[in-house]
Amino acid sequence: MRINKYLASCGIASRRECDKLISEGKVTINGKPASLGCEVGDGDEVFADGKKVNLQKNEYYIINKPKGYICSVSDEKGRKTVLDLMPSGVGRIYPVGRLDYDSEGLLILTTDGELAQRLTHPSNEIPKTSLVKIEGIVTETMLNPIRSGIEIEGGYVTKKCKAHVVETNKAYTKIHLTLTEGKNREIRKMFAAIGKEVMLLKRIKIGDLTLRGLDRGTYRKLTKQEIAYLNSL
């Protein structure tokens, strides 16, 4: 197995990040510095950042993230992270992608760095659907600029997406929005560009994976079928 895939399978990081560790001379195989592209076989002893690493059985979880938690393994400001919602004793687990502090909903956590890289890489265009609640009335016509791609703060033009109204009244409008990219606070910026403020943002789907049966702040292990599905995306 190639060294970067081996490290990713050990839950160290994504393959790209593992390549960086190797290039920086922080990885050894049997006491010798590893090089990009070298192979790891049975009986080889591998160290990364001075710590011995071993292949492990990867863990996969889905969590219904509440507001007020950040998608990180730690926080220098002392804020709560999604790992605070997980049981003790799990492996070196980390969130796949991000939901901002004020957003909630579906989040995958895993020790599988290779899968995490595939699910988050922009070129793979994994669809993610969110429920967006906007103050006041938003019509289908008003969503056309968002569907077509809209210039947001910073001058970036978003990719085309799917959006449709699922509920509306004088007080608020609920919209289902499906993106294949994930820029920082992108959905909030998209609605700001048409003069609307997001009241609630909840991710409800990644591909066909949903939050069904998960209360806010709870988690469960993914099934073998769900893991196979994510690997197929």
105 SS3 class = strand
Task: Catalytic residue, from 100, 102, 112, 215: name it.
Answer: 100
CA dist., res. 139 & res. 162, Å (int): 14
Is 100 in the active site? yes
* Contact between residue 135 and residue 199 where contact means Cβ atoms under 8 Å apart: yes
CA dist., res. 182 & res. 159, Å (int): 10
| Residues in CB range of 26: below 8 A, 6 or more apart | 48, 49, 50
CA dist., res. 178 & res. 201, Å (int): 12
| Beta strand residue intervals within the chain, DSSP E | 27-29, 32-33, 46-48, 51-53, 60-65, 94-96, 104-110, 128-135, 162-168, 172-179, 198-206, 209-210, 219-221
131 SS3 class = strand
| Beta strand residue intervals within 15-145, DSSP E | 27-29, 32-33, 46-48, 51-53, 60-65, 94-96, 104-110, 128-135
Q: What is the token pair recorded at 64? A: 């219904």
List the catalytic residues: 100
